[in-house]
Amino acid sequence: MPTGITPVICPQCHSNNVRMETETRGVCESCGTALIIEEKGEERDVRIEGEEEDDGFDTHFELTPRYSKETFLGEAWTALAKEDAPLDVFGHDFESVTENVHQVLTDSIKATVSFRASVGYDRQEPYTAYEDTIENETYYENGQRYTRRVVRQRPVTKYKTVTDWHPFNSEQNIDSIVTVDNTDGLFFDEDLFTEAFIHASAETFTFLPKEKTRGITVTDGAQREMTRKHSEEIRLKVVSALPGDRYKDLEINVVSLNSSTTGLYLAHEYEASISYKGKTYVKRAFPFGFMKIGGDVIENDGGFEATAESMRKEIPSRVWSKTKKGSYLTAALLALSIVTSLFVHVRIPVVALFIAAAAAFIYNAVKVGRVKRKETEKVEAEIAKSSEKHREKLLKALNGKLAALGFEPVTADSL
């Protein structure tokens, strides 16, 4: 035992003249203080007998369930319906509900940080570029006047974004609050916990005396996660404080940690699994506050959303089938006008064909737009009708399952 090798220091008078009466009790020969000695791995905890042991947490609460496991199951089935689960899923059953207890830590720090970076200010700078343009050129051959197209370059003014970089440094006081799970081997949905926690009533919080939290320590994994999240939070707040349009070479240094508090919450969680087509899906919730159902979503390739998306993808083909003749005619007129302009040097027929092709193009474009609007309206009406029928089937399947569990039926608004 280390007490026989390394001297025990009295926390009252700091003397090492301690007489060990048992492996866990001693008396300081200098001041007479009775001591409690506990070995925790490679560390030793020495405290004055009668003093409450410090477990390292500033607050201790248990978040007790406000909803029953049966209520959770009913909400889990409703969640499946909202997610448009396959209808035949409602012929299956969840396994029994398990209750997990998470050791959730909320760590709050106030820190002074210094930072420096290069900050950039964007501005628009003009420059000259040359673009090809097609122009009509008149020329004469054998006494005849002709027109041909030629390519010429013309200067145009354009603008590009230029960034002016300047050094910047500052110091700021930053508050950071993070939440981590201190429980090994359990999946933790932080968003699900936060949603329930912020809506929890005062009755949910049951104070835990320190003797019930004795032995709970922050794991190495939780400590690393807290450090990572604090670093990320500090960086985000520093970046938001930087001036300019962009930044680079950011360096952050924590000057001082002004305060730090850690709260421990024993949070109960319900979890249930259901098997479907060879796969296992899990639903979970924290049964307090606003009990939001989370977990896996059952894939439904034949669900309503997939069907609606498939129907919308058919709109272009439906439009094409009603406008393809006009499109072919327009393409033919355009091709004829181009060929005529290359081989016929008389302006009147060339211009006439070009005007006819342009008119056909405009007419066909207007027609395509009109047909597309009508077909889109038809498809959306078909989707709405299909949606209503699908919701009726889904509601019937859900209420059948809820009735079997002893729950009142829900209305379509619940979906």
| Domain end residue (candidates: 10, 29, 51) | 51
Same-domain pairing of 199 and 226 = yes
Continuous segment of H or E residues that includes residue 321: helix 315-343
Whole-angstrom Cα distance, residue 196 to residue 64?
12
How far apart, in Å, are the Cα atoms of 133 and each of 130, 335, 350, 351, 395? 10, 21, 21, 20, 63
The answer as to whether 158 is a domain residue is no
Spatial contact of 267 and 104, defined as CB atoms under 8 Å apart? yes
| pLDDT, position 344 | 67
| pLDDT, position 2 | 39
Spatial contact of 256 and 173, defined as CB atoms under 8 Å apart? no
**Residue pLDDT tens, the chain, 415 long:** 333 456 788 888 888 888 988 888 899 998 888 888 887 666 677 877 766 555 578 888 999 999 999 999 999 999 999 999 999 999 999 999 999 999 999 999 999 999 999 999 999 999 999 998 888 888 888 888 888 888 889 999 999 999 999 999 999 999 999 999 999 889 999 999 999 999 999 999 999 887 778 788 889 999 999 999 999 999 999 999 999 999 999 999 999 988 888 999 999 999 999 999 999 999 999 999 989 999 999 988 777 777 888 888 999 999 999 888 888 888 888 888 777 777 766 677 777 878 888 888 888 889 999 999 999 999 989 888 888 888 889 999 999 999 998 999 988 887 7
Spatial contact of 11 and 20, defined as CB atoms under 8 Å apart? no
Q: Name the amino acid, one letter, at 84.
A: D
Same-domain pairing of 42 and 66 = no
Domain that includes residue 216, residue range: 61-120+163-299
Whole-angstrom Cα distance, residue 106 to residue 289?
17
Whole-angstrom Cα distance, residue 65 to residue 57?
22
The answer as to whether 136 is a domain residue is no
As a dihedral over the C-alpha atoms of residue 219, residue 220, residue 225, residue 231, rounded to 10 degrees, the angle is: 130
| pLDDT, position 54 | 56
- Angle in degrees, CA 163, 165, 166, rounded to 5: 150
Same-domain pairing of 109 and 210 = yes
Same-domain pairing of 379 and 354 = yes
Same-domain pairing of 7 and 27 = yes
The answer as to whether 142 is a domain residue is no
Judged by phi (left if over 0) then psi (alpha if -120 to 50, else beta), residue 103 lies in beta
Whole-angstrom Cα distance, residue 163 to residue 125?
10
Same-domain pairing of 187 and 272 = yes
The reply to whether the predicted model has a pTM over 0.75 is no
| Domain end residue (candidates: 31, 51, 71) | 51
Same-domain pairing of 9 and 96 = no
The answer as to whether 108 is a domain residue is yes
SS3 category, 56 = coil
The answer as to whether 253 is a domain residue is yes
| pLDDT, position 3 | 37
Same-domain pairing of 263 and 378 = no
Number of domains in the chain: 3
Decide the pairing of beta strands 18-20 and 25-28: antiparallel
Digit-coded pLDDT (tens) for 304-333: 777 888 888 999 999 999 888 888 888 888
The answer as to whether 409 is a domain residue is no
Spatial contact of 200 and 288, defined as CB atoms under 8 Å apart? yes
Tokens matching residue 156: 């145009």
Same-domain pairing of 278 and 370 = no
Q: Name the amino acid, one letter, at 259.
A: S
The answer as to whether 143 is a domain residue is no
Same-domain pairing of 364 and 224 = no
The answer as to whether 13 is a domain residue is yes
Whole-angstrom Cα distance, residue 75 to residue 413?
14
Same-domain pairing of 290 and 385 = no
Same-domain pairing of 205 and 339 = no
Q: Name the amino acid, one letter, at 308.
A: A
